[in-house]
Amino acid sequence: MDLYADGDRWTTDPVAGAELVAEGWLLPGLVDAHTHPGAEELGRPLDPDVLREDLRAHLASGVALIRAPGLAGDPPDWFGLGDDSPRAVHAGPWIAQQGQFFEGWGRRPDPAELPAVAAEQAARTGWAKVVVDWLVGDDVMPVEVLREAVARVHAVGGRLAAHSQHPDGCRVAVEAGVDSLEHGMCLDPGLLPRMAEQGTALTPTISVIKAGLARLSSEPDSPTKRWYAAGAGAHDRLTAAAVEAGVTVLAGTDSRPHGRIADEIRALAGAGVSPHQAIAAASWTARSYLGLPGLVEGAPADAVVFDGDPRADLGRLDKPRAVIVRGRRVLGSRYRS
């Protein structure tokens, strides 16, 4: 098919003066649904220069849309709007329990105030992110607090993402009805049908979790090592089971350097997810979940072009032929027939 960018919208109707910028296998612009750009080290403040470089790295990988479920600070006004930036949605700073999460990052309101803080954030940007659990032995957020946060966020038209990597935290997140479960390590597979029914998405961040498992292998035995090894060791099977159960699975990298969405897609495929579904988690499925249609009439003019079908060779994901965001070619040479 031929697609024309009429401003920031796709159309199949010819546009006068249109210039051919790419030919090949088209996908809706890729999505990294879990990324935290803008800070080079844990706990450091948001740096606009680092943020720009991180966003350029996403563009170079074919990512036309990011979701940042947690940032090191409130981003500048140009975030997600400039020609050198993917589209972006974000949840502002993380919201955690007192005494938990990375020092220097996030907000830690009293439990009674947490739902209102989450709602205020979601009213500003559309999303809030809550850290439900943290280290081994830490208290899990009470389900009543999280359920009230979900209700307050939904009341202002927003959505709530929840970080969890422990069995009890995952259970609380699902019982509270969060919109997306981030990581979900140690999630009871028996909760997957409920997630599918209520529309709770899973962002498994497989590649970073497996990298953590590799780093932990040389550490001495400890409760933390046993917890992580058990959860990470079962994470592939959990992710494949989530897809099989009909849960919306989103691709997210959660790591530096940025621009590694292809690694997460291949990690999904390595977990037993079909190449078609793995790419969908980083393209049309993720875009639909975040409210953007794909390559259809009137949709936002985002696309990534490859030499051939990446489902047949996931290595093609490393070399986009062209990337188009907001109707403009931001990467790739011009090709003419």
What are the pLDDT digits (tens) for 25-46? Answer: 999 999 999 999 999 999 999 9
Query: How confident is the model at residue 336, as a pLDDT?
Result: 33
Q: In Å, how far from its chain's centre is CA 56?
A: 17
Please tell me whether residue 207 adopts helix, strand or coil conformation: helix
With beta carbons less than 8 A apart as the criterion, state whether 59 and 85 touch.
yes
Percent of the chain with pLDDT over 70: 98
Q: Which of 257, 269, 267, 305 is nearest to 64 (CA)?
A: 305
Query: How confident is the model at residue 1, as a pLDDT?
Result: 86
> What residues contact residue 234 under an 8 Å CB cut-off, 6+ apart?
186
| Residue in this structure with the two tokens 């993380």, named with its chain if needed | 94
Q: Residue 292 carries which DSSP code?
A: -
Question: In sequence order, what DSSP letters do the residues of 230-267 get, joined into one string?
Answer: HHHHTHHHHHHHHHHHT--B-----SSSS--HHHHHHH
Mean pLDDT of the chain: 95
Q: Could you give the C-alpha distances from 207 to 25, 42, 66, in angstroms and in order?
A: 26, 19, 17
Percent of the chain with pLDDT over 90: 94
Distance CA 132, CA 114 (A): 12
Q: What is the pLDDT of residues 90-104, one digit of tens each?
A: 999 999 999 999 999
Q: What is the pLDDT of residues 261-310, one digit of tens each?
A: 999 999 999 999 999 999 999 999 999 999 999 999 999 999 999 999 99
Per the rule left: phi > 0, alpha: psi between -120 and 50, beta: everything else, 126 is: left
Query: How confident is the model at residue 181, as a pLDDT?
Result: 99
Q: Please state whether beta strands 127-131 and 87-90 pair in parallel, antiparallel, or not at all (unpaired).
A: unpaired
Number of other residues whose CB lies within 10 A of the CB of residue 235: 24
pLDDT for 337 beyond 60: no
Burial 164-173 (b: 16+ CB within 10 A, else e): bbbbbbbbbb
Query: How confident is the model at residue 75, as a pLDDT?
Result: 96
The confidence band for 331, taking pLDDT boundaries of 50, 70 and 90, is confident
Cis peptide upstream of residue 86 (ω within 30 degrees of 0): no
Is residue 1 classed exposed, middle or buried when 0-12, 13-18 and 19+ CB atoms within 10 A define those classes? exposed
- In the chain, DSSP assigns E strands to 4-6, 9-11, 25-28, 30-32, 63-68, 87-90, 127-131, 159-164, 180-183, 201-203, 303-306, 322-325, 328-331
Query: How confident is the model at residue 84, as a pLDDT?
Result: 80
Query: How confident is the model at residue 313, as a pLDDT?
Result: 98
Start-to-end Cα distance in the chain: 14
State if pTM tops 0.85.
Answer: yes
Query: How confident is the model at residue 156, as a pLDDT?
Result: 98
Please tell me whether residue 14 adopts helix, strand or coil conformation: coil
